[in-house]
Structure 1
Amino acid sequence: MDSTKKGDALGQYRIEMMRQALEASGVDYTFSIYEDLMNQARRMSYLDEGKRFNVAIQGTSKTFEERFLPVRVPIYLGLGSGYRLILMRSELQAELNGVRNLKMLQQYSIGQGTAWSDIDIWRNAGFNVIESSYKNLFGMAAKGRFDLYSRGLFEAYEEHRIFSQQFPNLAVDKALLVYYPFAIYIFVSPKYPEIHQALTEGMQALYRTGKLQTLLEANSAVATALAQANLQQRQRIDLPAYNMTPESEAAIRHYVFKLQ
């Protein structure tokens, strides 16, 4: 399994989720983490060949779902992938407090990782997108190389905790909630359909029994996000759906996080 987030709280969630999904499948599999850092394009090339690793966790797209075997259970149950918060320079907060609609938000440039699948969602919605590697983007945001770094609801506070020590002017925006239909899936190399079958059955079982949401709620990054985000107080701005397969649209509607 490839993981670029092994050391943080969400990385630990992903590892435990994989462990429980394989256990729930009833099939005797073990897994290890492939730790070399790489951009997304290379990760997908490695996944295709299935030699260095045969499973990766990735934001979905029509291309990825055609190229690989998607386990169509969104790992954050929609709330942590389609709901986006913003990391930005703290001095932008006053401006963002006044943003009320998509047209106003389009004035700001967006940072995204090279080849990330939601880049096209932002560009389709009329944004200027600046691409770089995952870790470089935090420094670029702090230095004003672009305006806003779009992060998943469950990612923003955990990443701010980690990177604000190096970039003290980095802040989580308090005003906006951006939403677009999106899912992060487990993808399996096409050379291993039996692993795909096991993970699909395991993830479906975790959702059906409520264990997937329980696992999410127990994670420190998720608990922090739900406690601090004040979702009901934010100005919500929706981006149009783009490049989503009918199967993923159905999965997003079916596998949902049940807010208490």
Structure 2
Amino acid sequence: MDLVRKTILLYLMSLSLSTHASIDIIRTGHQQFAKDINQEYNFRILEAALKITEPEFGAYKIMVYGDGSIPKKRALNQILKKDGFFNVVLVTTQPEWEEKAIPIRIPIRMGLLSYRLLLVHKDNADKFSQLNTIEALKPISVGLRKSWSTWEVMQEQGFNVVNSYTYNSLFAMLEKKRFDYIPRGVYEVFEEVEFQSQANPNIMIEPHIVMVLPTPYYAFVSPHAPRIAKRLNAGLEMMMEKGIIRDMLELHYGYAIEQAKVNSRTVIQVENKTLSDETPLDKKHYWLDLFSESSNL
């Protein structure tokens, strides 16, 4: 059975279940290409939030659609439809998502994506060795996908942004020196370098810089599913208060945080001016501070 037919069948099954049983049906999916460990983390967080709320909200079922090729714009369009393929999407926040969907403003990665290392071409690594300010970094060309939240943030602040239309073409373009660097989250970058090593052998992790760009990663819920939004908000809040999300981050990404060694790097802060005024930055227990000894996972 091909992927489209399988997706439609699962979708119809979910509608049937939600019609004939008292059960919360969560329809989610792989919106963009990602390594399996990242999709696994998303699924486990979602599952844990639903499980912890069973005493209050009852039974649930998670149905996952897609193969990783659905772009965020299409995912948003689906989540806004009453009978769209998705009613829950886990993704980095952007203004349009917060305006149109229901954001659950509990950062499920505790801001870990805010810490980014730079992928560079080996021939150009020396270019970054003496950089220590945002002003020095802005003229150097950065490769980004236009659908990424970082694209809008860096474009508005005057960075020299070069567009890429697909995830894989980013690495091919860096290999060909079409731009100078790609900022990637500390939990993404090590596996990406390994995965790309055969096709793009000259890509390396720049050893001196960590870019800090505040990037919340939320669950977004369809406006047609307020009960699910209430349930996820309750579940994720309990998980945050009990330290469960922190424990899950350690399980999935502790090795990458240790490898990144951010305390030995030059910090370049990039303000995220697109963040909503409702971003819970005042709730310190929601966010990791990788520069503080007390924040070690």
> TM over 0.5: same fold?
yes
For the residue of structure 2 that corresponds to 1:250, the secondary structure is coil
Query: TM-score normalized by structure 1?
Result: 0.91
Does the CA-based 8 Å contact 2:175-2:202 persist in structure 1?
yes
What is the match of residue 13 of structure 2? none
Other-structure match for 2:124: 92
Tell me the CA shift for residue 162 of structure 1: 1.8
- Separation of aligned partners in 1, 2:63 and 2:153: 32
Deviation, structure 1 residue 113 = 2.1
Alpha-carbon contact 1:47-1:188 (below 8 Å) kept = yes
Shift of residue 57 of structure 1? 1.6
Q: Provide the C-alpha distance between the structure 1 equivalents of 2:174 and 2:255, rounded to a whole number of angstroms.
A: 22
Match of 2:74 in 1: 42
| Inter-partner Cα distance in structure 1 for 2:116 and 2:282 | 19
Counterpart in 2 of 1:130? 162
CA distance in 1, matches of 2:220, 2:197: 31
* 1:16 alignment counterpart: 44
Give yes or no for contact 2:105–2:280 (8 Å, CA) kept in 1: no
Shift in alpha-carbon separation, 1:225–1:94, aligned structure 2, 3 A: same
Query: Judging changes above 3 Å, is the alpha-carbon distance between structure 1 residues 10 and 117 closer, same or farther for their aligned structure 2 residues?
Result: same
**CA shift for structure 1 position 125:** 2.1
Distance 1:130 1:57, change over 3 A: farther
- The answer to whether structure 1 residue 162 and structure 2 residue 195 are counterparts is yes
Give the unaligned 5+ runs of structure 2: 1-27, 289-294
| TM-score, length basis structure 2 | 0.81
Q: Does 1:60 align with 2:88?
A: no
Identity %: 27
User: 1:70 touches 1:186 (CA, 8 Å); kept in 2?
Assistant: yes
- Equivalent of 2:140, from 108, 111, 118? 108
Instruction: Give the secondary-structure state (helix, strand or coil) at the position aligned to 1:73.
Output: coil
Rate the CA distance shift 1:7–1:96 in 2: closer, same or farther, 3 A.
Answer: closer
Q: Quick check: 185-194 or 142-151, which moved more?
A: 142-151
> 1:99-248 alignment to 2 at 5 Å?
99-131=131-163, 132-219=165-252, 222-248=253-279
- Local SS of the residue matching 1:33: strand
Structure 1: stretches of 5+ with no match in the other structure: none
Distance 1:56 1:135 in 2: 22
The structure having more radius of gyration, on CA atoms, is 2
CA distance in 2, matches of 1:55, 1:12: 15
Tell which has more relative contact order, 1 or 2 (C-alpha 8 A, sep 6+): 1
Distance verdict in 2 for CA 1:227–1:32, change over 3 Å: same
Distance 1:144 1:39 in 2: 26
Q: What is the alpha-carbon distance in structure 2 between the residues aligned to residue 209 and residue 180 of structure 1?
A: 27
In 2: Cα distance, 1:249 partner to 1:96 partner: 33
Give the aligned partner of residue 33 of structure 1: 64
CA distance 1:142–1:215, change in 2 (3 Å): same
1:255 to 286, 293, 297: 286
Distance 1:252-1:76 versus aligned 2 partners, 3 A rule: farther
Q: CA deviation at 1:67?
A: 0.7
Kindly tell me: are residues 107 and 6 of structure 1, through their superposed partners in 2, closer, same or farther at Cα, counting changes over 3 Å? closer
> Partners in 1 of 2:35 and 2:214 — Cα distance?
28
SS at match of 1:30: strand
Q: Distance in 2 between matches of 1:44 and 1:129?
A: 24
1:7-39 Cα distance to aligned partner (Å, 9 max, x none): 521221111111111111223221122124122
CA contact (8 A) 1:75 1:185 kept: yes
**Aligned partner letter, 1:130:** V
Amino acid at match of 1:10: N
Q: RMSD between aligned alpha carbons?
A: 1.8
